[in-house]
């Protein structure tokens, strides 16, 4: 048998980083999906291959479940990261199905670049757990898929992950995450524009940087709390469908993330290009350091402005993905 599941990527309307310290965040799923195809094998091995992850395609074959890593060369650190998420997702599926020795061929196709702040790892974890458990004849509740995918991120990112990315990818739409409290939100179809600089970041490293700043300076801890206040204000604007206010708050959020040291020249340049192109607001999305920005722009002038910006490799309109994880 073969089972394929897909799950969407996401942008943060507000609240990345602060969410790690218990403040609320509002990520929104976007119509760019990761698809994971799983076939059960006769033995207990794991073979992972991937195409179109904005890296060269790769195939890695693992030993049995008790081995602790790939047994062939892993071409790049990015591939290593991707296989780490798949490895942990398979471990969750084996656990959920009570089949510790189940072996799989796993194929990943993703429209979401890796490590770009668009939730590729969460989408791969969510779709991977869903496909592998279904392949073993077990149908998990979507919230359980989200919870197990969170444990995957937590494991791979050395204990530094919030539930935001994985919950959003599993449920779809706009969601609110505050600690362990995860809810779905009513949201209008916001006119998201994404700019991607072609680079990737290490989420764990960036989270550690903010943690160190927060430990060193009280005003950095205050900045994290201010992001929380901003998110609460943003939730009201979202409920009212007040795009103008959402944009102003996104600009403010970008400034606070910049103060916390997680922006980059490429991200700042893309944020300004989007604003110059007519966006009502723009901010970095995800861990920062490099990767992507998100803007709100009805007219699409910011797509053109971003396309003309040397720091921007790809600019596109992104629709809210109302559907989360699904079997294909
Ligand atoms: O860049 P991403 O997609 O890994 O997003 C990370 C978001 C953080 O808030 C920085 C970390 C987290 O787990 O919430």
Asked whether 162 lines ligand 1 (CB < 6 A), one says yes
Domain boundary among 152, 186, 220: 186
Residues 181 and 154 in one domain: yes
Domain boundary among 186, 220, 249: 186
Query: Within 260-300, where are the H helices?
Result: 265-276
**99 inside domain:** yes
How far away, in angstroms, is 5 Cα from ligand 1 center?
23
How high is the ipTM of this complex? 0.98
Residue 165 annotated in active site: yes
Of 22, 151, 207, 227, the residue with max ligand 1 atoms within 8 A of its CB, to mutate for a pocket test, comes to 207
CATH value at residue 173: 3.30.230.10
Residues 157 and 207 in one domain: no
Other C-beta atoms lying within 10 Å of the C-beta of residue 183 = 11
Residue environment code for 49-87, b if the CB has 16+ CB neighbours within 10 A, otherwise e:
ebeebbbeebebebeebeeeebeeebeeebbebbbbbbb
**327 inside domain:** no
**213 inside domain:** yes
Residue of 263, 320, 324, 243 lying closest to 28 (CA atoms): 320
The single residue of 165, 197, 297, 311 carrying the catalytic annotation is 165
CATH value at residue 213: 3.30.70.890
| 16 CA closest ligand 1 atom index | 9
Domain boundary among 186, 204, 230: 186
Note whether 103 and 90 are within 8 A (CB).
Answer: no
Residues 250 and 182 in one domain: no
Residues 197 and 182 in one domain: no
Of 24, 162, 180, the residue with max ligand 1 atoms within 8 A of its CB, to mutate for a pocket test, comes to 162
Residues 180 and 55 in one domain: yes
pTM for this entry: 0.91
Residues 164 and 23 in one domain: yes
| 18 CA closest ligand 1 atom index | 9
Residue whose tokens read 């469908």:
241
Smallest CA separation from ligand 1 atom 14, residue: 162
**In tens digits, what is the pLDDT along the chain, a chain of 328 residues?**
899 999 999 999 999 999 999 999 999 999 999 999 999 999 999 988 876 554 444 555 555 444 444 444 444 555 566 678 888 999 999 999 999 999 999 998 888 887 788 999 899 999 999 999 999 999 999 999 999 999 999 888 777 788 999 999 999 999 999 999 999 999 998 999 999 999 888 888 899 999 999 999 999 999 999 999 999 999 999 999 999 999 999 999 999 999 999 999 999 999 999 999 999 999 999 999 999 999 999 988 999 999 999 999 999 999 999 999 999 9
Residues 180 and 209 in one domain: no
**79 inside domain:** yes
Asked whether 17 lines ligand 1 (CB < 6 A), one says yes
- Number of folded domains that form the chain: 2
Asked whether 165 lines ligand 1 (CB < 6 A), one says yes
**323 inside domain:** no
Residues 20 and 6 in one domain: yes
3-state DSSP assignment of residue 295: strand
Smallest CA separation from ligand 1 atom 5, residue: 286
**Binding site feature residues for ATP:** 113-123
Asked whether 287 lines ligand 1 (CB < 6 A), one says yes
Residues 218 and 168 in one domain: no
Residues 264 and 296 in one domain: yes
**Binding site feature residues:** 113-123
Asked whether 207 lines ligand 1 (CB < 6 A), one says yes
Q: Do you know the residue count of the chain? A: 328
**291 inside domain:** yes
| 203 CA closest ligand 1 atom index | 4
Structural domain for 248, as ranges: 192-318
């Amino acid at each position: 048998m073969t089972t394929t599941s897909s799950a969407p990527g996401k942008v943060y309307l507000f609240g990345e980083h602060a969410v790690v310290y218990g403040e609320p965040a509002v990520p929104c799923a976007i119509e760019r999906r990761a698809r994971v195809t799983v076939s059960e094998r006769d033995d207990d091995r794991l073979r992972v291959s991937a195409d179109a992850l904005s890296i060269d395609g790769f195939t890695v074959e693992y030993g049995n479940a008790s081995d602790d890593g790939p047994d062939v060369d892993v071409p790049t650190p990015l591939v290593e990261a991707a296989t780490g998420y798949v490895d942990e997702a398979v471990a969750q599926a084996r656990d959920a199905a009570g089949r510790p020795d189940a072996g799989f061929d796993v194929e990943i196709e993703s429209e979401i670049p890796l490590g770009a702040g668009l939730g590729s790892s969460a989408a791969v974890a969510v779709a991977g757990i869903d496909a592998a458990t279904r392949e073993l004849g077990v149908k998990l509740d979507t919230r359980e898929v989200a919870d197990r995918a969170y444990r995957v991120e937590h494991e791979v990112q050395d204990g530094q992950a919030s539930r935001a990315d994985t919950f959003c990818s599993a449920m779809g739409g706009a969601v609110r995450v505050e600690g362990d409290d995860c809810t779905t939100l009513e949201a209008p179809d916001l006119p998201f524009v994404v700019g991607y600089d072609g680079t990737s970041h290490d989420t764990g490293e960036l989270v550690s940087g903010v943690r160190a700043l927060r430990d060193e300076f009280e005003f950095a801890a205050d900045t994290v709390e201010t992001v929380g206040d901003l998110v609460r204000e943003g939730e009201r604007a979202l409920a009212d469908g007040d795009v103008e206010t959402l944009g102003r708050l996104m600009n403010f959020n970008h400034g606070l993330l910049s103060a916390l040291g997680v922006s980059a020249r490429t991200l700042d340049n893309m944020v300004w290009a989007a604003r110059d192109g007519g966006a009502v607001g723009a901010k970095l999305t995800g861990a920062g350091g490099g990767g992507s920005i998100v803007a709100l722009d009805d007219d699409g002038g910011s797509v053109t402005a971003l396309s003309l910006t040397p720091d921007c490799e790809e600019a596109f309109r992104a629709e809210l993905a109302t559907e989360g994880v699904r079997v294909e």
